[in-house]
Every structure is written in C-alpha cells, then in structure tokens.
C-alpha cells in the first residue's frame, strides 16, 4: 500500500505537530515542578485569645501565638500590625539665631499604630532585602511607606529620615513598635510559641499577626491570625456618646472636669486645716 503525495505530507505534518506538542509538554513540566516545590504552604497557627477588651483601667495585655512548621531547619518570622494607619503631626526644631525652636511641622501618614516583629534570628540572615520589602518586614519598609506633608515650612532633603526616626523612637518607647530577632524558638523540631504585648495605648480595631516560615532564604509557609480590640463598659459608653452626641459629651466632660477640680480643692483645703 502506497500513500499519495498529499497523504504523505499530511502524515509528516501530523508527526511534526505531535513532536512539538510533546516538547511543549516536557518544557511545561520542567517549569511546573520547581514552581510547585516553591509554593507557599498554609501553616497551622492559633492564638490564646482572639479578642481583647479595653476598659477605663486597661493597662495592656499579652496574647500568645503558636503554630507548627512544615519541616525541620526552618526560620520563623511573625509580624503583628494594626490594619489601620495612625496619622501623626511632628514638629521639627531648627536654630533661629541663638535659639532652638520649632521651625517646621509635618503631617505624617502611612504608618500603623502597632508594628512588632518576632523572629528566630536576625532578618538579614533569614532573607534578602528584596523579599523583606515584598513581605513588609523591617523598619526600612515602614519608612518607604510613610508619607509626610508640610503644615509649616517646606520639605527638604533629610526631613523624611528625621521625622521617621522621631516617630520610631516615640513608638518604641511606648512599646508600640518593636523588633525582637531572638524571641521565637522552634521547639521539638516543629512547634513554635511566643507572645506579643499589646500596650496600654493600643486602640480599638483589628490587628493581624502573620507567621512567615522560611528555609534557605525562601518563603515556604504562611499563617494568619486576627486579634480584635474593642471597648467595653464605661469606656464603650463614653466613646459611643462622643461619637453619637458630641455636644452632650462636651458638656459632660466640662462638668466632670469642674467636679474633679472642686474635689481636689476640697481635699487640699481639708488637709491644710489639720
């Protein structure tokens, strides 16, 4: 049996197309296998509490975070961050003649109220700067996110660095910002546990703790937990009153201030009489 020229040509084309498809399939598999190997796994994590109640006497609280890692020989980095930004106004001092005084004022945006990182070792030993920037880890990343606008004066070179360092110091002193690169320890090969302190200046809102798992400089696992802070009791009543009835809240605030002043005056007068 012989094939016509047309049939022979069609057969050859079919063989060529089949070879091409097999080649494309092999290339696709070669690309897919490394991608699957580098896929980020979902890590099992949990917290000791999902809510924190704030009252008038709230002095801070701590919440434990724990989880399991997918394999041995990994590093853990946990980022705790408020979901809402906390705007600020910053004054910058300058010398006017022989006197140092506030010469500039900036409004600051783009920074969270709380920003804390716990890790098994220094971040620069776990990942490169590009990956840290992608994941939002480190004070350098925060500074890039921060924006400043002049209220008084003009923005000059170095002002952003100066403003960021000022805010960073204040929030570190208030335990709102912290990076502890030796806080997390992986125990029994697969378990990690640590706690974050929520300071007294923590506000109502949602906070997210993201646990990143790294191996050989690559992100291999991730887990996310949420903590909700809410006002309760008298604190909640006052906040509701201030939001819903600002005029009444103002009158009440003045009345309470006057009463407090009279009470203090009475105490001092009584003590002075003995």
What is the reported pLDDT for 11?
46
What is the reported pLDDT for 122?
96
What is the reported pLDDT for 270?
62
71 and 170 together in one domain: yes
Most confident of 3-7, 27-31, 236-240: 236-240
What is the reported pLDDT for 231?
82
What is the Rg, in whole angstroms, of the alpha carbon atoms belonging to the chain?
A: 30
Give exposure, 83-98, as e/b (b: 16+ Cβ within 10 Å): eeebebebebeeeeee
209 close to 79: Cβ distance less than 8 angstroms: yes
154 and 198 together in one domain: yes
DSSP H or E segment with residue 221: strand 218-231
CA distance 194 to 206: 20
CATH number of the domain enclosing 81: 2.60.40
Three-class SS of residue 2? coil
What is the reported pLDDT for 35?
42
Tokens for 111, please give them: 């920074």
102 and 222 together in one domain: yes
Torsional class of 149: left (φ above 0), alpha (ψ -120 to 50), beta (otherwise): beta
What is the reported pLDDT for 242?
57
83 and 210 together in one domain: yes
State mean pLDDT over 82-111.
90
Nearest to 209 by CA among 104, 94, 120, 116: 116
Average pLDDT for the chain: 83
Give exposure, 215-229, as e/b (b: 16+ Cβ within 10 Å): beeebbbebebebeb
Tens of pLDDT, residues 108-147: 999 999 999 999 999 999 999 999 999 999 999 999 999 9
What is the reported pLDDT for 245?
60
In a domain, 22, yes or no: no
């Amino acid at each position: 049996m012989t094939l016509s020229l047309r049939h022979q040509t069609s057969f050859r084309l079919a063989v060529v197309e089949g070879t091409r498809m097999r080649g494309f399939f092999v290339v696709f598999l070669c690309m897919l296998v490394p991608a699957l190997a580098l896929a980020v796994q979902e890590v099992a994590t949990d917290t000791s509490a999902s809510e924190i109640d704030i009252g008038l006497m709230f002095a801070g609280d701590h919440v434990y975070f724990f989880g399991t890692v997918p394999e041995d020989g990994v590093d853990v980095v946990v980022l705790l961050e408020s979901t809402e930004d906390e705007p600020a106004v910053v004054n910058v001092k300058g010398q006017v003649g022989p006197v140092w005084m506030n010469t500039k004022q900036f409004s600051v945006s783009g920074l969270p109220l709380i920003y804390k990182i716990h890790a098994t070792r220094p971040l620069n030993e776990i990942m490169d700067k590009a990956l840290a920037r992608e994941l939002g880890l480190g004070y350098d990343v925060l500074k890039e996110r921060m924006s400043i606008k002049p209220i008084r004066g003009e923005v000059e070179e170095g002002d952003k660095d100066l403003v960021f360092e000022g805010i960073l110091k204040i929030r570190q002193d208030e335990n709102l910002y912290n990076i502890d690169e030796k806080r997390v320890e992986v125990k029994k090969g697969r378990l990690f546990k640590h706690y974050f302190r929520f300071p007294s200046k923590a506000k109502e809102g949602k906070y997210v703790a993201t646990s990143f798992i790294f191996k050989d400089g690559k992100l291999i696992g991730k887990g996310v937990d949420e903590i909700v802070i809410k006002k309760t009791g008298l604190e909640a009543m006052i906040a509701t009153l201030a939001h819903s009835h600002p005029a009444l809240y103002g009158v009440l605030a003045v009345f309470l201030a006057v009463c407090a002043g009279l009470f203090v005056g009475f105490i001092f007068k009584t003590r002075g009489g003995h």
